[in-house]
Amino acid sequence: MPRMHNIAASLPSVLLIAALAIQSLHAQAPTGAQPMAEAQGPGAKAQDNLQRQFTVDFSKNPPVRFEAMNPGEQGGDGLSLPRRIAAAVVARDKPDPHYIADLGSYTGEFLEAFMERFPNSHGQWTEPVNGNEDNAKIRLSRFGDHVSYVIGCPSRDISQGCIPKDADVIITSWVSIHQPLDGMAKVFKGVYDQLPSGGWFADLDHVGLAGSDWEKPLTEARKEFHAKTEGPPVHLKTPAPTIEQQLAAFKVAGFDDVRVIWCSFTDVLFMAQKR
């Protein structure tokens, strides 16, 4: 009986503690988007802005279908992450690049990521034909006169003068679908020769797996996460060179410290800085 009395006597205290705990949980729980953003810190605002990124209407170019890995990704495709990574890496060394030239820009996906990061810099969209110029202008319109549009340098050959000499960042994509390995080395050499000391080069590209059994499952699985059509149609029927072969091509061109910054399935982001 005394034991029961002790329990009964302590019951009000237990109930009080429980009530306070529940009240505390309610106070901490997010009641809407704004409290959650505050809980996540400053990065939440940037992420929220990212979710509202301009999505291009590709109705003028129906063969191109972009499928986002996550809703609201930049430009509506699943490869916005490596593009933003490339811009972030450059930003650590060059917080305010002078001139960003995108070589073989297609619809401007890569340049868009850089202009988002460096809105005060000048960006150049570059293509050998004007078939996607209108699409690029829609995508990049919010950057106004900070972006120029140049037709020239087919096959990424910048020796023809499409890139100004003061460009301190050159970016490109999918060289492997336009050039065999020796042609890729020539493209890289042209970029190396033109970049100033300290200039950056980024290439988002496909890589082959030299006939490995992994090649087919990785290529097929990629379609669930990346755009089914990314960039122009494949011009070369031969498999893309391997990572090792492409790294060697960079080094032959003069880049002595090339890094694989990001890799997913058969897509790779290469980056190098001219010393």
Q: List the CATH number of the domain containing 187.
A: 3.40.50.150
Strand partners, 206: 267
For residue 211, the model assigns a pLDDT of 85
Best CA proximity match to 83, nearest among 261, 219, 225: 261
Best CA proximity match to 68, nearest among 43, 60, 58: 58
Q: pLDDT band for position 224 (50/70/90)? A: confident
For residue 225, the model assigns a pLDDT of 76
Same structural domain for residues 36 and 56? Answer: no
In the Cβ-directed half-sphere of 268, how many Cα atoms lie within 13 Å? 20
Question: Between these two residues, 32 and 210, which has the higher pLDDT value?
Answer: 210
Same structural domain for residues 85 and 23? Answer: no
For residue 32, the model assigns a pLDDT of 38
Total residues belonging to the chain: 275
Percent of the chain whose pLDDT exceeds 90: 55
Mean pLDDT of 170-192: 94
In the predicted model, is pLDDT for residue 204 greater than 70?
yes
Same structural domain for residues 59 and 159? Answer: yes
Question: Between these two residues, 114 and 216, which has the higher pLDDT value?
Answer: 114
Same structural domain for residues 14 and 108? Answer: no
Same structural domain for residues 256 and 175? Answer: yes
Same structural domain for residues 229 and 259? Answer: yes
State the pTM of this model: 0.70
Question: Between these two residues, 59 and 210, which has the higher pLDDT value?
Answer: 210
Same structural domain for residues 97 and 206? Answer: yes
Same structural domain for residues 144 and 25? Answer: no
| Contact criterion met (CB below 8 Å) for 136 and 75 | no
Specify the number of domains making up the chain.
Answer: 2
Same structural domain for residues 79 and 129? Answer: yes
The pair of three-digit structure tokens given for residue 272, joined into one six-digit string = 């190098």
Contacts of 105 (CB under 8 A, 6+ apart): 111, 125, 126, 127, 132, 136
The pair of three-digit structure tokens given for residue 228, joined into one six-digit string = 């089914």
How does 59-92 read in b/e, with b if 16+ C-beta sit within 10 Å?
eeeeebebebeeeebbbbbbbbbbbbbbbebbee
The pair of three-digit structure tokens given for residue 57, joined into one six-digit string = 């209407």
Same structural domain for residues 86 and 20? Answer: no
In terms of phi and psi (left: phi > 0; alpha: psi -120 to 50; beta: otherwise), the region of 47 is alpha
Contacts of 200 (CB under 8 A, 6+ apart): 89, 90, 93, 94, 97, 168, 169, 170, 271, 272, 273, 274
Mean pLDDT of 56-83: 46
| Contact criterion met (CB below 8 Å) for 204 and 83 | yes
pLDDT, tens only, 100-120:
999 999 999 999 999 999 999
For residue 44, the model assigns a pLDDT of 43
Q: Please, what sign has the CA dihedral across residues 119, 124, 126, 130?
A: positive
Mean pLDDT of 30-54: 38
Residue ranges making up the domain that contains 36: 2-44
For residue 235, the model assigns a pLDDT of 57
For residue 234, the model assigns a pLDDT of 55
Q: pLDDT band for position 67 (50/70/90)? A: very low
Same structural domain for residues 137 and 246? Answer: yes
Question: Between these two residues, 11 and 66, which has the higher pLDDT value?
Answer: 11
Best CA proximity match to 138, nearest among 76, 55, 66: 55
pLDDT, tens only, 232-250:
555 556 788 999 999 999 9
Q: pLDDT band for position 231 (50/70/90)? A: low
Same structural domain for residues 184 and 171? Answer: yes
Strand partners, 203: 172, 270
